[in-house]
């Protein structure tokens, strides 16, 4: 018990044991979920990658390394329950579940011009929200908090923590078709006509739908994609529920699209400090990162036809909170998050490239501005790879150097992907003002911002390949090592 508390306090890890898969009402340490089948996550590096330096230190101690640490993706939103796992583990009867209304999560989609008409990629999830008692919900919520509990949080934070937990413990609905009414919106947001019905499905085992469908426009409300440069919008409403409302963005073949990550670039998450990251994600109000909203607002004003696409690997279930924050703080735009069939660490590491490839393939003539921060190992690999994989389509890459402004970020990152890239197309920056005044259609690099790219692993505990010993980093790595040992 004490062992687990210490372990939990040191590190967010789901220390998986071999007990039967019942969801105990009182999690005693931050375990994100009880997996449906007992499993132990062990990282076995297939090839040299970021994280190997941490690995080599930990391996010296003879321990297996939790994927959380070793993957370089400090992603605590992992291995959420899917399918009927929630229903059975919470002991919810079929009748009680049948009585709960079916809800739809509709991610704001993009649509492309096919030459004949517009077609839209509808994607989202169908689920039921079981009636979880407050005390059961509080117990589940406490499982996501380190060194605190829902009863110790201010009322507004407790409410948000319960809200997110409830969003995670939903019962996904497979084999259902979803019908949506799609209505053209005028430039000032008014509905034009009564719209058309589109049906997608059936939903996957995880309740997901993900399908490209043509948009009928018999009354000619929409501008043709070969005759406009502007982004048009349409409202989506899922029949049978008021939960599945979203806006679809019709994006013409040519122009500029900003693809932006969210955590630690648009909002303060501190994903690299688990206890903080969990509080920032579950309890505290979402807070913009410095004056980033002003930068995006100015981009949007300077380039009215700019398309914003928010691409984050946060899991689908909790995107309503991300969308609410983004749409209140940043320009409106389409969304991609992590579908539920991408659940384990290796799938999580592959999802960003999957989603990037999909939007690049959908808009082969558009130019993309990619924005994120250095704390995601998948970004560090995938963003520069887009330059070679899709020649001519990457306009700019902007990466916030999180360790420059945040001494709490002790995760190393790999800049080798940038080797050979023309400096004029990328910039590592420290504060939002470094991006101030850049004309995205012409320039990506503000020469007054010092670049310190070694084209290798950076932010290592022992310095960048040198012998300088940073003792605070060493202590942090040893803390991780100790907690791993306690944990296993
Ligand atoms: C837990 O909380 C106590 C009291 O607030 C604090 O002293 C301690 O540093 C915290 N531990 C962690 C791991 O955050
Ligand atoms: C985009 O258009 C092409 C046809 O040009 C079509 O095959 C593809 O599915 C469309 N993609 C989306 C996301 O609508
Ligand atoms: C745009 O495409 C439509 C066919 O979908 C065609 O009828 C029209 O002439 C095209 N407009 C231009 C300006 O090429
Ligand atoms: C949820 O359960 C509580 C008792 O635990 C009950 O009072 C309440 O009516 C239920 N709500 C719904 C919507 O079924
Ligand atoms: C949680 O909050 C979001 C955003 O306010 C809201 O859309 C959603 O319905 C809430 N979910 C639950 C389960 O309360
Ligand atoms: C969903 O639609 C397909 C045809 O697109 C149909 O074959 C199937 O029976 C429908 N499923 C349900 C549950 O309505
Ligand atoms: C869409 O479906 C709804 C519900 O079945 C129906 O009332 C409405 O008339 C349909 N709209 C169109 C354009 O077919
Ligand atoms: C969703 O859209 C429908 C149809 O436009 C509207 O009647 C309803 O009020 C909307 N629901 C919410 C929660 O905004
Ligand atoms: C998840 O589902 C999508 C289609 O919805 C599929 O293209 C993708 O390969 C699946 N990913 C995994 C990891 O199963
Ligand atoms: C990021 O900032 C840190 C701390 O200032 C610095 O040591 C490092 O070289 C920077 N990395 C890049 C790629 O500029
Ligand atoms: C880098 O790009 C700039 C602007 O497009 C260009 O002027 C310069 O020649 C390029 N440098 C190299 C080495 O290709
Ligand atoms: C945004 O634009 C306004 C008005 O043009 C300008 O005063 C301000 O300095 C700009 N801010 C940034 C961060 O670019």
pLDDT at 480: 44
- 422 in any annotated domain: yes
The enclosing H or E element of 167 equals helix 155-168
Instruction: Tell me which ligand sits closest to the C-alpha of residue 417.
Output: 10
DSSP 8-state class, residue 109 = P
pLDDT at 227: 97
Cβ atoms of 2 and 29 within 8 Å: the answer is no
- Per the model's pLDDT, the better-predicted residue between 53 and 96 turns out to be 96
Q: 263 CA to middle of ligand 5, Å?
A: 19
Instruction: Please tell me the least confidently modeled range out of 75-84, 128-137, 204-213, 240-249.
Output: 75-84
Cβ atoms of 45 and 463 within 8 Å: the answer is no
Distance of alpha carbon 268 from alpha carbon 289, whole angstroms: 5
Q: Is 167 touching ligand 5 by the criterion CB < 6 Å? A: yes
Does 366 lie in the same domain as 480?
Answer: yes
* Candidate of 129, 140, 158, 163 to mutate for ligand 5, largest count of ligand atoms within 8 Å of Cβ: 163
Q: 205 CA to middle of ligand 4, Å?
A: 27
Instruction: Tell me the per-residue pLDDT of 164-199, one tens digit each, with 9 for 90 and over.
Output: 889 888 999 999 999 999 999 999 999 999 999 999
Q: Is 73 touching ligand 2 by the criterion CB < 6 Å? A: no
Does 270 lie in the same domain as 164?
Answer: no
Instruction: Tell me which ligand sits closest to the C-alpha of residue 10.
Output: 1
Distance of alpha carbon 440 from alpha carbon 104, whole angstroms: 36
CA–chain centroid gap for 476, Å, is 26
Average pLDDT on 291-298 reads: 98
Does 152 lie in the same domain as 57?
Answer: no
Q: 180 CA to middle of ligand 8, Å?
A: 12
Residue 357 is part of which domain span? 1-31+40-71+256-304+342-488
End residue of a domain, out of 168, 189, 212: 168
- 353 in any annotated domain: yes
Q: Is 267 touching ligand 8 by the criterion CB < 6 Å? A: no
The yes-or-no verdict on residue 23 having pLDDT over 80 is no
Cβ atoms of 217 and 248 within 8 Å: the answer is no
End residue of a domain, out of 168, 190, 220: 168
Distance of alpha carbon 415 from alpha carbon 426, whole angstroms: 12
Does 412 lie in the same domain as 289?
Answer: yes
Structure tokens at 167: 């969003």
Does 477 lie in the same domain as 398?
Answer: yes
Cβ atoms of 386 and 360 within 8 Å: the answer is yes
Q: Is 147 touching ligand 11 by the criterion CB < 6 Å? A: no
pLDDT bucket at 294, cuts 50 / 70 / 90: very high
Q: Which residues of 68-93 are buried (b: 16+ CB within 10 A; e: fewer)?
A: bbbbbbbbbbbbbbbbbbbbebbebe
- 49 in any annotated domain: yes
pLDDT at 93: 86
Q: Is 27 touching ligand 9 by the criterion CB < 6 Å? A: no
pLDDT at 461: 59
* Candidate of 427, 450, 458 to mutate for ligand 10, largest count of ligand atoms within 8 Å of Cβ: 458
- Of 246, 268, 262, 380, nearest in space to 311 by CA: 262
- 482 in any annotated domain: yes
Distance of alpha carbon 4 from alpha carbon 282, whole angstroms: 22
Q: Whose CA is nearest to atom 6 of ligand 9?
A: 341
The enclosing H or E element of 483 equals helix 471-487
pLDDT bucket at 32, cuts 50 / 70 / 90: very low
192 Cβ contact partners less than 8 Å away, ≥ 6 residues apart? 183, 184, 185, 186, 221
The yes-or-no verdict on residue 79 having pLDDT over 90 is no
Ligand 6 atom at shortest distance from the alpha carbon of 201: 1
Average pLDDT on 461-469 reads: 41
Alpha helices (H) along 283-344: 292-302, 319-329
pLDDT at 78: 59
- 193 in any annotated domain: no
- Of 381, 390, 307, 449, nearest in space to 49 by CA: 381
Does 149 lie in the same domain as 25?
Answer: no
The yes-or-no verdict on residue 246 having pLDDT over 70 is yes
End residue of a domain, out of 168, 191, 213: 168
Q: Whose CA is nearest to atom 1 of ligand 11?
A: 422
List, as one string, the DSSP characters of 250-296. Answer: E--SSSEEEEE--BTTTB---TTSHHHHHHHHHTSPP-B-TTHHHHH
Cβ atoms of 262 and 308 within 8 Å: the answer is no
pLDDT at 56: 40
Cβ atoms of 127 and 326 within 8 Å: the answer is no
pLDDT bucket at 77, cuts 50 / 70 / 90: low
The residue count of the chain comes to 488
Q: How many domains does the chain have?
A: 2
The yes-or-no verdict on residue 462 having pLDDT over 60 is no
The yes-or-no verdict on residue 348 having pLDDT over 70 is yes
- Of 354, 381, 380, 384, nearest in space to 368 by CA: 384
pLDDT at 409: 75
pLDDT at 282: 78
- Per the model's pLDDT, the better-predicted residue between 488 and 450 turns out to be 450
**DSSP SS3 for 349:** helix
Ligand 3 atom at shortest distance from the alpha carbon of 225: 1
Average confidence score pLDDT of the chain = 80
- 296 in any annotated domain: yes
The yes-or-no verdict on residue 215 having pLDDT over 90 is yes
Instruction: Tell me which ligand sits closest to the C-alpha of residue 238.
Output: 8
- 175 in any annotated domain: no
Does 452 lie in the same domain as 359?
Answer: yes
Instruction: Please tell me the least confidently modeled range out of 49-63, 124-138, 296-310, 331-345.
Output: 49-63
pLDDT at 361: 98
Q: What is the pTM of this model?
A: 0.84
Residue 127, beta-bridge partner list: 103, 172
Cβ atoms of 71 and 65 within 8 Å: the answer is no
Does 273 lie in the same domain as 158?
Answer: no
The enclosing H or E element of 120 equals strand 118-128
Instruction: Tell me the per-residue pLDDT of 150-159, one tens digit each, with 9 for 90 and over.
Output: 999 999 999 9
- 231 in any annotated domain: no
Cβ atoms of 417 and 384 within 8 Å: the answer is yes
Cβ atoms of 389 and 357 within 8 Å: the answer is yes
The yes-or-no verdict on residue 161 having pLDDT over 70 is yes
Q: Largest alpha-carbon pair distance within the chain?
A: 70
End-to-end CA, the chain? 13
* Candidate of 288, 290, 293, 294 to mutate for ligand 12, largest count of ligand atoms within 8 Å of Cβ: 294
Does 295 lie in the same domain as 406?
Answer: yes
The yes-or-no verdict on residue 3 having pLDDT over 80 is no
* Candidate of 114, 116, 214, 224 to mutate for ligand 3, largest count of ligand atoms within 8 Å of Cβ: 224
Does 138 lie in the same domain as 64?
Answer: no
Is omega for the bond preceding 454 within 30 degrees of 0, making it cis?
no
């Amino acid at each position: 018990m004490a062992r687990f508390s210490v372990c939990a306090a040191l590190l967010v890890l789901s220390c998986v044991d071999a007990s039967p898969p019942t969801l105990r009402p009182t999690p005693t340490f931050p375990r994100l979920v009880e997996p449906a089948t007992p499993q132990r996550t062990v990282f076995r590096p297939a090839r040299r990658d970021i994280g190997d330096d941490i690995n080599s230190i930990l391996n010296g101690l003879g321990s297996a390394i939790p994927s959380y640490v070793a993957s370089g993706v400090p992603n605590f939103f992992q291995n959420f329950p899917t399918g009927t796992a929630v229903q059975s583990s919470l002991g919810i009867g079929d009748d009680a579940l049948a009585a709960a209304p079916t809800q739809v999560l509709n991610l704001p989609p993009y649509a492309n011009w096919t030459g004949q008409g517009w077609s839209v990629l509808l994607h989202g999830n169908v689920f039921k929200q079981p009636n979880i008692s407050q005390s059961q919900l509080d117990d589940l919520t406490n499982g996501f908090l380190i060194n605190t509990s829902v009863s110790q949080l201010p009322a507004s934070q407790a409410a948000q923590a319960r809200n997110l937990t409830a969003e995670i413990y939903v019962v996904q609905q497979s084999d259902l078709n979803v019908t949506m009414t799609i209505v053209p919106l005028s430039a000032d947001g008014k509905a034009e006509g009564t719209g058309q019905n589109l049906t997608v499905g059936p939903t996957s085992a995880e309740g997901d739908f993900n399908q490209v469908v043509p948009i009928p426009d018999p009354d000619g409300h929409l501008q043709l994609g070969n005759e406009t440069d502007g982004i048009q919008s349409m409202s989506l409403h899922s029949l049978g529920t008021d939960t599945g409302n979203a806006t679809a963005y019709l994006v013409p073949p040519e122009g500029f699209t900003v693809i932006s990550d969210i955590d630690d670039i648009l909002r303060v998450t501190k994903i690299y400090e688990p206890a903080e990251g969990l509080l920032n994600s579950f309890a505290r109000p979402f807070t913009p990162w410095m004056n980033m909203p002003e930068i995006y607002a100015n981009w949007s004003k300077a380039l009215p036809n700019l398309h914003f696409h928010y691409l984050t690997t946060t899991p689908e279930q909790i995107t309503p909170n991300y969308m609410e924050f983004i749409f209140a703080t940043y320009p409106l735009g389409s969304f991609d998050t992590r579908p539920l069939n991408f659940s384990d660490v290796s799938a999580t590491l592959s999802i960003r490239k999957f989603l990037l490839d999909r939007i690049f393939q959908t808009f082969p003539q558009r130019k993309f501005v990619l924005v994120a921060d250095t704390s995601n190992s998948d970004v560090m690999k995938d963003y520069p790879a887009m330059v070679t994989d899709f020649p001519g389509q990457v306009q700019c890459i902007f990466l916030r150097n999180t360790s420059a402004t945040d001494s709490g970020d002790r995760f190393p990152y790999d800049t080798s992907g940038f080797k050979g890239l023309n400096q004029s197309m990328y910039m590592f920056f420290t504060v939002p003002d470094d991006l101030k005044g850049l004309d995205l259609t012409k320039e990506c690099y503000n020469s007054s911002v010092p670049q310190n790219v070694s084209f290798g692993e950076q932010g290592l505990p022992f310095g960048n390949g040198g012998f300088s010993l940073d003792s605070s980093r060493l202590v942090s790595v040893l803390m991780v090592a100790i907690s791993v040992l306690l944990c296993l």
